[in-house]
Amino acid sequence: MINKFSDVPLYSQLKQMIAEKIENGEYPPDSKIPSEQEFCEEFEISRPTVRQAINELTNNGLLYRMKGKGTFVTKLKSVIEIKNYNGFTDSILDSQVPGDREFIRTGVVSNKKLKFLNEIFNIVSGQGLENEFAELIFTSKANGEVISLNKSYIPLSLFPNILQDVKNKKPSYDILMGKYPLLPSRSKSTLDLTYSDQTDAQYLKMQIGQPVIRIENVLSSKSSQVVEYVISKYKAGKCRLMFEHNK
């Protein structure tokens, strides 16, 4: 029950109570919880108090809203373990199983349009040179479920046929045949926590504003030639990254 004499804020008490009802099954997955008005009347608390509790639970992913229908309990899925994650996991050039990807869009972009590519691919600025890159946006799956949304950039000067190769679902050993000096051998990764935007929500099947793990990978050959730049986003509450290192 709500204790109006407690030092714990009322919205926090209500939030905890709803979370406990979800955990013990009183509010089962995909079920509709009481309306804001019903909570107000049951506990004699204000609508802003109820709204704050529900907003925080929605932002945390425990609840979701359906316009015109109400607020429902999120159906929690089992944790997806991405075994042996490394900087090559979501790479186009290092993938042996291209069938695990589903492409959303492919095309060509230039470093003049996407200026951040200059620094990543070590392009000297101020020379007025235009370099074209394949931009490949795709999802990756594990156990039949989408686990990541990825965006890869590959220089067309190094891989002029990459878009056709991807369309033909060639594995990396075919793409790299005869290009052994460009074989990815090193990866530099940056990981941070951010929040899903509209595109993430659409393809990762989550609510806008929920946390996602964002990983940037820069893949280089043995000669330090940058051959691919990959940005991947994972649902923070649905996957666990396992890092292994054998010396």
Give which of 112, 158, 116 is closest to 134, Cα–Cα.
158
Say how many C-beta atoms besides its own lie within 10 A of residue 2's C-beta.
16
Give which of 102, 231, 232, 230 is closest to 166, Cα–Cα.
102
Instruction: Look at residue 51 in the predicted model and tell me its pLDDT.
Output: 95
* SS3 (DSSP) at 187: strand
Instruction: Look at residue 144 in the predicted model and tell me its pLDDT.
Output: 76
For the chain, domains (ranges, CATH) are 10-73 (1.10.10.10), 80-241 (3.40.1410.10)
The DSSP symbol for 99 reads G
The DSSP symbol for 92 reads S
Instruction: Look at residue 50 in the predicted model and tell me its pLDDT.
Output: 96
Instruction: Look at residue 231 in the predicted model and tell me its pLDDT.
Output: 95
Distance of alpha carbon 84 from alpha carbon 216, whole angstroms: 17
Task: Name beta bridge partners: 214.
Answer: 192, 233
Distance of alpha carbon 75 from alpha carbon 25, whole angstroms: 12
Distance of alpha carbon 184 from alpha carbon 222, whole angstroms: 7
Please give the helix or strand (H or E) that residue 43 lies within, else none.
helix 36-43
Task: Name beta bridge partners: 216.
Answer: 190, 231
Separation in Å, CA 198 to CA 16, 205, 210: 28, 10, 11
Sort residue 219 into left (φ over 0), alpha (ψ -120 to 50) or beta.
Answer: beta
User: What are the structure tokens assigned to 241, written together?
Assistant: 């990254």
Instruction: Look at residue 206 in the predicted model and tell me its pLDDT.
Output: 82
The DSSP symbol for 208 reads T
Instruction: Look at residue 79 in the predicted model and tell me its pLDDT.
Output: 58
Instruction: Look at residue 100 in the predicted model and tell me its pLDDT.
Output: 72
Q: How confident is the chain (247 residues) per 10-residue block, as mean pLDDT?
A: 90 94 90 95 95 91 86 73 67 72 92 90 73 94 83 95 91 87 90 90 84 92 93 82 61
Instruction: Look at residue 214 in the predicted model and tell me its pLDDT.
Output: 93
Instruction: Look at residue 87 in the predicted model and tell me its pLDDT.
Output: 66
